[in-house]
Structure 1
Amino acid sequence: MELKLVYKNLCPNCGENVSSERLSKGLPCENCLPNEKGKLKFGPLLEVEERNKRIEEIEELFKKVVKAKMWALQKFWVRRFLKGESFTLIAPTGSGKTTIQIILCLFSAKFLKKRCLIILPTSILVSEVSKRMKDFSEKLNFNLTISSYHSLLSQKEKKEEISKIDFADIIVTTHLSIMKKEEIARQSVDVVFVDDVDSFLRKSKAIRFVLRMMKLPEKIKKIVTGVFEKKINLKDAISEISNTKEKITAQLIVSGATQKAKRTR
């Protein structure tokens, strides 16, 4: 006779009691899933299930425009992004950091209704990335407004890009343009992608402009400003921000290259 056990507070979905029989089948407790063939209605396992579906959707978009499957590292970045995390992409040049950022940007604007900003170090890169993004958007039949502003544009082109920036779904520009153009700096965004974090961090003023564009609580904006003005030390600032972390809905994803990528941060 098989011995059946009940594990106290070990249901992977709700944390209540669950039988060994249910666990052996990969199922949560009866309260979470009364019908073994039914669908979860709540809990962290439902979030995981929905996130996995999103990952599959993003991979389909990726394959459609890139004509290849995502690498394991790119899937890892996608998973973190869908969790709502702010994080750093550290990987060698050619690892597909920019490509996955473009895909995530398009996905966010189209399906999550989030306004995105991509910051690149040079005007040449802004031109290249924006063209690639518009090409991807066209192939996917996404009806998105993409505003691309950089110094290589003619005066007429600059006016055209600025004229649509207030209703743009995606803004692609340089950190210098953000500091120089009030029309860009006054925009509010939900997700910020920063390519080449090293060059970005060398411009402390640019960081303040970007944080202002993100939808951050006023308290956090004051804390960050206090750090830059040396009125608050970094340790105290981190502690205060940690206490208000749940109120932050905006995401910041930055990328950088390294010759020896021993780990992904």
Structure 2
Amino acid sequence: MTDTGVVDDLVSRIVWDRIRSQGRRPTVHDIDRALYRDHGIHADLLPVLSRDGFNLSPLVVGPNLPAGALVGVTAAHVHALGLATRELSLFLTVIRQAADREREFEPTRPGEPAQLTAADVIDHLCMTGSDTKQVMAAVGELLRASPCGCTIVAGNDPLWTLQISREVRRYVGMPNMDSYMRLIGGPDRIAPHFDGTFWTALSAVFAVLALLVSALQVASVSQATSGTIAAVAAFLAVYRRRRDRWTFLYTIGAVLAAGYLAMTLWP
């Protein structure tokens, strides 16, 4: 069985390579074919693409992952993987320019939003390279998938048009990606993914420690077991750093086990 962390890393790189080279998001089918053709990996992509850092369109609800669903990747995820320095720099520049546009914009009718196009950015930065459109298309996909106070909307620009909201004001004066990560509450790095072998070994270590503690009569078997369950469940809840049902279950298990341990120690 292929390590989950390896699959996560490969999928991330496949998605970004397709966006960077083709200026568009790959489909689930594209990713599945690239994994199998280039790496000999046949894996269930739903657990991978459901993680933070990926963006599915349309939003997938339920256990079925449509082959035609488009897969994007956030700027925070690309940054955490150490990819795309140029595109990330332009991503920040676009957000700062959008914030300037929102501050200076005078609507001609009530509720009219400020907008910013790829052509505006290209003109502002005097970009003339042969790969300008390709790079800006990739930046547009980062903007589409990432929190930035803007939304990609239909417009006259063939690359992308941003509709700017008041939320963009929080990014004023943002100097770099580390600052952006702090603003959105994102992790500074991608947390490592451990496979089944790791969890089996970890559980075995805790089980041996529990037996050792009870054998030395430091605590009873029930106390050692409940302490072990509390420690492992608490570790899992903190490690996941996601608000989903598994994290809540781990947290509840940790609290119940710790509560039982407390009752046996202090009746």
TM-score, normalising length: structure 1: 0.23
Greater gyration radius: 2
Higher strand share: 1
TM-score, normalising length: structure 2: 0.23
Higher relative contact order (CA closer than 8 Å, sequence separation 6+)? 1
